[in-house]
């Protein structure tokens, strides 16, 4: 009762929101890159918010289902098919025993997510089921998936209320340029006024040095006052480091726990999904906001998730029409 990996894709791992509380011991948080797509995937199948999913990058996997379950696919469009027929995204899908779910290369975005209503059976390590490939812990054997891997489900779950209503509008993933809102600091004082203006008024290009650890950008030189080396301190998701070469590096899910380069800014958490869904040669710009504004954006997104939850918990049009028809038929015999 589970899924068999026929083809693993380029990089497919089991991920949740990450392993928090252990950076002081040298363990990176890891977890999903696109938190928004992750949460929507679990919301669609009525899972707990932090239930692990499969995350895949640039080329998706091919999976065989050995039992019935319900899934949802979110993130970038990888042309998913079920038994050779196009599969819907951002929709709850009933999968039958023997079905083959196949993904191609990313058409839009660069990362995709699959949630499972039957829950993936992987061990909890230090409070998380996410894969930390550097430490070889968590997820499935602490590594990316390989052909012939078999992941069992933890429960049998074949029913969801309002099943036909569980569909949402897909997020837009095909922008070639995005604007990332950032909170300046904590070491923005180490850069010249011109350097700050360059950072906030220039377009930077996503390079091919882009993985789960971070994204190196290319573009105009950001001038510092007297170098950008600091005594190593902690790094959070979305920290924007500027080494001596003057080009920004945005630290992501598998980032190191500490770093010795000045951090000019930190990307607002709600905008990190925009970055991690970009491809090489896409453009990125930065816009400064306050901590209060970043918090307001997060609260707005939480409210948006609540609205999504209400939407998929309402009977869909087909069900409502069926109810009306049944009511009319009953009235004929009353």
332 vs 160, which has greater pLDDT? 160
pLDDT digits (tens, 9 = 90+) for 214-251: 999 999 999 999 999 999 999 999 999 999 999 999 99
Nearest to 3 by CA among 79, 56, 57: 56
pLDDT confidence bin for 319, thresholds 50/70/90? low
Cα angle for residues 111, 116, 121 (degrees, 5° grid): 105
pLDDT at 315: 67
Provide the CA 173 distance to its chain's centre, in angstroms.
12
pLDDT at 174: 86
Q: Is the dihedral of CA 95, 98, 99, 104 positive or negative?
A: positive
Report the C-alpha gap between 325 and 322 in whole angstroms.
5
pLDDT confidence bin for 157, thresholds 50/70/90? confident
pLDDT at 324: 52
Mean pLDDT of the chain, nearest integer: 92
Element (H, E) at 285: strand 283-289
pLDDT at 155: 85
Cα angle for residues 329, 333, 334 (degrees, 5° grid): 110
Report the C-alpha gap between 304 and 309 in whole angstroms.
9
Q: Find the largest Cα–Cα distance for the chain.
A: 88
pLDDT digits (tens, 9 = 90+) for 283-306: 999 999 999 999 999 999 999 999
pLDDT digits (tens, 9 = 90+) for 1-31: 899 999 999 999 999 999 999 988 989 999 9
Report the C-alpha gap between 57 and 106 in whole angstroms.
8
pLDDT at 162: 80
By percentage, how much of the chain surpasses pLDDT 70?
94
Is this structure's pTM higher than 0.75?
yes
pLDDT digits (tens, 9 = 90+) for 34-89: 999 999 999 999 999 999 999 999 999 999 999 999 999 999 999 999 999 999 99
pLDDT at 320: 54
Q: Is the dihedral of CA 307, 312, 318, 321 positive or negative?
A: negative
Q: Is pLDDT at 314 greater than 80 in this prediction?
A: no
pLDDT at 317: 61
Maximum average pLDDT range among 112-121, 172-181, 324-333: 112-121
185 touches 263 (CB < 8 A): yes
Instruction: Give, to the nearest 10 degrees, the angle between helix 35-44 and helix 291-312.
Output: 20
Q: Which class for 134: exposed (0-12), middle (13-18), buried (19 or more C-beta within 10 A)?
A: middle
DSSP 188: G
Q: Is pLDDT at 327 greater than 60 in this prediction?
A: no
pLDDT at 163: 81
């Amino acid at each position: 009762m589970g899924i068999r990996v026929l083809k693993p894709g380029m990089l497919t791992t089991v991920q949740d929101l990450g392993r928090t509380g252990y950076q002081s011991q040298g363990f990176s948080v890891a977890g999903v890159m696109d938190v928004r797509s992750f949460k929507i995937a679990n919301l669609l199948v009525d899972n707990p918010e932090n239930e692990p999913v499969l995350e895949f990058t640039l080329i998706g996997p091919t999976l065989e289902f050995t039992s019935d379950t319900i899934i949802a696919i979110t993130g970038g469009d990888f042309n998913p098919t079920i038994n050779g027929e196009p599969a819907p995204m951002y929709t709850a899908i009933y999968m039958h025993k023997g079905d083959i779910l196949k993904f191609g290369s990313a058409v839009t975005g660069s990362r995709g997510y699959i949630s499972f209503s039957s829950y993936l059976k992987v061990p909890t390590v230090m409070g998380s089921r996410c894969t930390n490939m550097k430490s070889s812990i968590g997820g499935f054997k602490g590594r990316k998936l390989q052909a012939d891997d078999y992941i069992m489900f933890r429960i049998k779950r074949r029913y969801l209320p309002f099943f036909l209503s569980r569909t949402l509008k897909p997020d837009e993933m095909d922008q070639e340029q995005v604007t990332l809102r950032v909170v300046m600091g904590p070491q923005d004082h180490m850069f010249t006024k011109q350097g700050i203006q360059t950072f906030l008024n220039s377009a930077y290009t996503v390079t091919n040095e882009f993985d789960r650890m971070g994204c190196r950008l290319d573009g105009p030189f950001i001038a510092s006052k007297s170098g950008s080396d600091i005594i190593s301190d902690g790094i959070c998701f979305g920290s924007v480091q500027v080494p001596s070469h003057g080009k920004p590096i945005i630290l992501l899910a598998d980032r190191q726990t500490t770093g010795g380069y000045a951090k000019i800014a930190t990307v607002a958490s709600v905008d990190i999904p925009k970055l991690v869904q970009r491809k090489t040669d896409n453009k990125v710009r930065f816009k400064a906001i306050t901590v209060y504004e970043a918090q307001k954006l997060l609260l707005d997104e939480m409210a948006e998730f609540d609205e999504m939850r209400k939407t998929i918990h309402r009977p869909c049009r087909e069900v409502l029409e069926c109810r009306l028809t049944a009511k009319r038929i009953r009235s004929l015999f009353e």
